[in-house]
A and B are shown apart, each in its own frame.
Chain A
Amino acid sequence: MNKKQKIVVLSAIVLIAAALVVWISNGGEVLSKDGVWVKKELSELDKSLGLEPQLEFHKQFVLGLLPHTAVFIGAVVVVSGILFFTFKSKKNKENK
């Protein structure tokens, strides 16, 4: 592995690790979501009526492993793979 290849591999590892950190910090959901259901606070009247909190949909992007994080990681793997072999062939050509 030459110097350029090492940089490619290291960059790929850093990018994949960063993507996983961002994914985990977004809740580690398997699937990406366009929004979340939030429980509304109960009014005194609702409590007297024995009700449970109503659900309200809040639009909010939640990054999931699928598809966004996986697509990003896949793209990093493909691009770094291409670069890795590109740099390998250049080195081989130089050696010849």
Chain B
Amino acid sequence: MRIILKTLLIIFVIVSASLAQGFKVKAVGEQAFNFEDKNGRNQASFFSTTPLEDVTGVSTDVKGKVTFNLSDIKTLKGSVSISAASIKTGIDLRDEHMKSKNWLDAENYPQITFVIKNVSDVKVIADNKLQAKVTGDFTVHGVTKPVTADVTMAYLDASEETKQRAPGDLLGIQAKFNIVLSDYGVENMVVGQRVSDNIEISANIVGSNAL
């Protein structure tokens, strides 16, 4: 009986290990990546389209940290946030409206945050590149709702080229998901119908494991 159980356990471990999907790079084990970039090259943006106007908002005030085991991306944990007041749409008056109480209420809810909860549908594109669906809790205007983002991740070992961006190994993340503004208690009153209720959110960020 014990032999059977041991055999089943070994098979389970082997199967689990073979199913784990991650990066095949020089580094191994648990890694932590910090997304703070003092040069403002990390961007999170939103896009809204209405018959009247397309609106793009960009923030370069991106902060966050993720940890995961390189051999299994499903161990990914962490969060990424931006400050609500840092979003620029290209029109100063509209930026002020966005920060106001009727909209994002940046004074009372200063942070917009995505907290990673789960990783699924992992697709290995290359040894250092993966695609996956990352589910997490998205908080804006003090309201938290689960969302699922389509994410592409690329891992680069430290090199002379990567040093131009940041020290250490780099993790590039490109993520996209949609939200409905009214779900988050944003009533769209001040900006009127010039901003859609359906908003596409993207993040284009690079983290370093040496920061």
State whether A54 touches B91 (Cβ < 8 A): no
Judge if B153 is at the interface, Cβ distance under 8 Å. yes
CB distance from B46 to the nearest CB of A (A): 11
Taking a contact as CB atoms closer than 8 A, the residue among A30, A54, A57 that contacts B204 in the complex is A54
CB contacts (< 8 Å) of B156 on chain A: these are: 45, 48-49
Complex Cα gap A84–B153 (Å): 67
Cβ of A31: which chain B residues have Cβ within 8 Å of it?
52-53, 194
Query: Which residue of chain B has its CB nearest to the CB of A46?
Result: B172
Of the listed stretches A17-25, A32-40, A75-83, name the one at the interface; the rest are far from the partner chain. A32-40
Query: In the complex the two chains form, is B90's CB within 8 Å of A35's CB?
Result: yes
- Flag if B52 contacts A55 (CB, 8 Å): no
Contacts of B164 in A (CB 8 A): 45
- Given B43, B53, B202, B206, which contacts A49 in the complex, CB threshold below 8 Å? B206
Summed over the interface, the residue pairs from A and B with CB atoms below 8 Å come to a total of 56
Closest B residue, CB atoms, query A55: B58
In the complex, how many residues of chain B place their beta carbon closer than 8 angstroms to a beta carbon of chain A?
28
Residue A1 at the B interface, CB < 8 A?
no
Q: Are the C-beta atoms of B58 and A30 separated by less than 8 Å?
A: no
Query: Is the C-beta of B154 less than 8 angstroms from some C-beta in chain A?
Result: yes
Q: In the complex, A37 Cα to B90 Cα: how many Å?
A: 8
Give Cα A34 to B95, complex, Å.
13
Contact code string B163-176 (vs A, CB < 8 Å = 1, else 0): 01100001011100
Residue-wise, chain B 188-208 has the 8 Å CB interface mask toward A (1 for contact) of 000000100000001010100
Bound state CA distance, A69 and B206, in angstroms?
43
| Range for the number of chain A residues in contact with chain B | 10 to 19
A34 touches B172 (CB 8 A): no
> Across the interface, which residues of A come within 8 angstroms of B161, CB to CB?
44-45, 48
B91 touching A50 by the CB < 8 A rule?
A: no
A55 and B43 in contact, given A33-B90, A49-B156 (Cβ under 8 angstroms): yes
Please give me the residue from chain A that is nearest to B41 by CB atom: A54
Contact B194 A52 (CB under 8 A): no
Per the bound structure, the CA–CA distance linking A48 and B56 in Å amounts to 25
Cβ of A49 and Cβ of B52 under 8 Å apart?
no
With CB as the reference atom, state the residue of chain B lying closest to A44. Answer: B161
Residue among A31, A48, A49, A51 facing the most chain B CB atoms (10 A cut-off): A49
Question: With A50-B172, A52-B202, A57-B88 given, is the CB distance from A37 to B52 under 8 Å?
Answer: no
B165–A50 touching, CB < 8 Å: no
B64 to chain A, nearest CB (A): 16
Complex interface residues of chain A between 47 and 89 (CB less than 8 A to chain B): 48-52, 54-55, 57
* Listed A/B pairs (7) with beta-carbon separation below 8 Å: A33-B91, A48-B172, A51-B172, A52-B202, A54-B43, A54-B204, A55-B58
